[in-house]
């Protein structure tokens, strides 16, 4: 009898791990809806007006329940002399302003308890000029003695102009971003060994992967060498932790980004669709749903040709870009529609903290990283603004109010992610565009595990009727719908009517 029970339990586990489209059972894979957090501006747990890791831990229920995200990307948390922390001085520790390694371990443990994966920023292009490696190298150069750390950086006796700075009476060092960020020499065998040691250190502490900063700058102007380094890093990390998730920041055109997928890295941020000048904002303004659907299908085919396991990574805006509320004209309808468009695409989308509330911020970087707007009335946990910020968050309700308002942007995000969870094929499926004959309709079919789910977005301000025969859709029912404040979708005969600026899921 015991053997029979064990067999039944094993069968149940296998079935739960291979859920068909439409089954909300958790699938054990690397598909997630990630939430990008700038720790300094997120939640202050100790009253010093600086966000910290304990503050992120305190808000895990908000992330998991009020929003519905199941992945977190922590912007740099390692010690650094700057507010943004992209110039590391110690790869094996936590910046004291953010807490301790014990705080980090607690965050990881509690996130995993909620089935939230956590990835952290790993900056490999450069360190701080205050890093002990760089200090030791410069001291040795001045003294005319040897040091293994000299090989960690790109020193030269030639004045190569822009991107280099004089450090001794005869040596220059490469610093493509600013002089305080000396570039690392990624050809150094000793440095590569150190990089793998760093990666394993954090993987052993429970992180689920890394966001790799500035991958197009590893070897400036040389995509082939950048891709080769990424392939090496991917192979080494996956050999140590096969389920580690890696995503690279290749801020470039689509063709360049697609080429980087040949490295084997899981994902690269989809920059051509993001920001005020990106394709997503353009199709909303132009109400070009058909063009959006065609481009999503074409793009996923393009990256799959480079890496069959590629996972796209849509986002609206991030810490380096003006927030999406601004370029969507602070229109609640457009913000909700944009959320549905980018979250209901294949791969792993990234939500920048506060985007789910409609937070504003543009201009200098500090304005794009303003304090999370938890409440207009209760200042508990709200951080101070980054130094030199010239804007404040305004014109929106706080997270506390939005959580209780069914028509809020926050609840729109929550509902979209809930619907996505009920249809695993949207994230995991192979997309194909549907030609509805209507420019304003984005029709996508996602095929996964021999099942297909259909998503229809109406980008127009009017109801639209789609002929189901024209797109060869038969025996389908409305499974879910979103953003339908002005009416619900309905099927009459062989025609489906879609409300204005809404999304409908068919199975």
Question: Which residues are tagged catalytic?
Answer: 213, 249
Residues in the chain: 507
Closest residue by Cα to residue 89 from 52, 55, 126: 126
| Residue 143 tokens, joined | 């003294």
| Residue 368 tokens, joined | 């794009």
- Alpha-carbon separation of residue 383 from 98, 272, 325 (angstroms): 12, 32, 21
What 380-388 contacts at long range (C-beta under 8 Å, 24+ apart), as own/partner pairs, is: 381/43, 381/44, 381/45, 381/55, 381/58, 382/43, 382/44, 383/40, 383/41, 383/42, 383/43, 383/44, 383/49, 383/50, 383/51, 384/49, 384/50, 385/41, 386/40, 386/41, 386/83, 386/84, 387/83, 388/364
DSSP 8-state secondary structure symbol assigned to residue 379? -
DSSP 8-state secondary structure symbol assigned to residue 221? T
69 close to 351: Cβ distance less than 8 angstroms: yes
Distance CA 26, CA 169 (A): 61
Residue 26 phi/psi, 5-degree rounding, is -65, 130
Closest residue by Cα to residue 129 from 174, 160, 96: 174
DSSP string, 428-451: HSEEEEE--S-TTEEEEEEEETTE
Closest residue by Cα to residue 407 from 491, 319, 486, 311: 486
| Residue 240 tokens, joined | 């140590």
Distance CA 303, CA 108 (A): 31
């Amino acid at each position: 009898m015991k053997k029979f029970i064990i067999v039944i339990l094993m069968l149940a586990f296998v079935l739960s791990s291979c859920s068909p489209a439409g089954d909300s059972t958790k699938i054990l894979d690397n598909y997630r809806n990630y939430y990008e957090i700038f720790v300094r501006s997120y939640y202050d747990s100790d009253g010093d007006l600086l966000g910290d890791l304990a503050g992120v831990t305190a808000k895990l229920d908000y992330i998991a329940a009020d929003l519905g995200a199941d992945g977190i990307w922590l912007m740099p948390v390692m010690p650094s002399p700057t507010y943004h922390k992209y110039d590391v001085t110690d790869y094996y520790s936590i910046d004291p302003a953010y807490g301790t390694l014990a705080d980090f371990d607690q965050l990881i443990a509690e996130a995993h308890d909620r089935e939230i994966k956590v990835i952290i920023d790993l900056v490999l292009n450069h360190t701080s000029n205050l890093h002990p490696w760089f200090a030791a190298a410069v001291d040795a150069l001045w003294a005319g003695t040897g040091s293994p750390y000299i090989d960690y950086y790109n020193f030269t006796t030639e004045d190569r102009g822009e991107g280099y700075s004089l450090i001794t009476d005869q040596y220059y060092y490469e610093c493509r971003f600013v002089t305080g960020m000396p570039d690392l020499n990624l050809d150094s065998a000793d440095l590569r060994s150190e990089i793998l040691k760093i990666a394993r250190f954090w993987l052993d502490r429970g992180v689920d992967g890394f966001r790799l900063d500035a991958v197009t700058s590893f070897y400036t102007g040389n995509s082939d060498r950048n891709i080769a380094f990424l392939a090496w890093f991917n192979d080494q990390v996956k050999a140590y932790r096969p389920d580690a998730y890696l995503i690279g920041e290749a801020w470039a055109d689509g063709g360049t980004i697609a080429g980087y997928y040949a490295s084997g890295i899981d994902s690269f941020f989809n920059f051509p669709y993001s920001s005020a000048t990106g394709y997503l904002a353009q199709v909303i303004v132009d109400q070009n749903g058909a063009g959006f659907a065609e481009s999503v299908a074409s793009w996923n085919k393009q990256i799959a040709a480079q890496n069959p396991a590629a996972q796209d990574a849509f986002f609206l805006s991030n810490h380096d870009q003006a927030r999406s509320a601004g370029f969507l004209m602070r229109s609640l309808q457009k913000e909700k529609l944009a959320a549905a468009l980018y979250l209901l695409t294949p791969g792993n989308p990234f939500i920048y903290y506060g985007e789910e509330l409609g937070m504003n911020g543009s201009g200098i970087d500090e304005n794009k990283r303003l304090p999370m707007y938890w409440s207009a009335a209760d200042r508990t946990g709200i951080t101070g603004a980054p130094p030199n910020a010239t804007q404040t968050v305004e014109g929106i309700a706080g997270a506390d109010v939005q959580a209780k308002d069914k028509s809020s942007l926050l609840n729109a995000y929550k509902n979209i992610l809930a619907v996505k969870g009920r249809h695993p094929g949207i994230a995991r499926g192979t997309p194909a565009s549907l030609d509805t004959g209507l420019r304003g309709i984005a029709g996508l079919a996602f095929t996964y595990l021999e099942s297909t789910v259909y998503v229809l977005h109406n980008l127009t301000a009017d109801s639209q009727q789609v002929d189901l025969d024209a797109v060869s859709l038969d025996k389908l029912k409305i499974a879910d719908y979103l953003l339908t404040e002005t009416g619900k979708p309905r099927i009459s005969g062989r025609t489906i009517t879609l409300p204005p600026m809404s999304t409908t899921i068919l199975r």
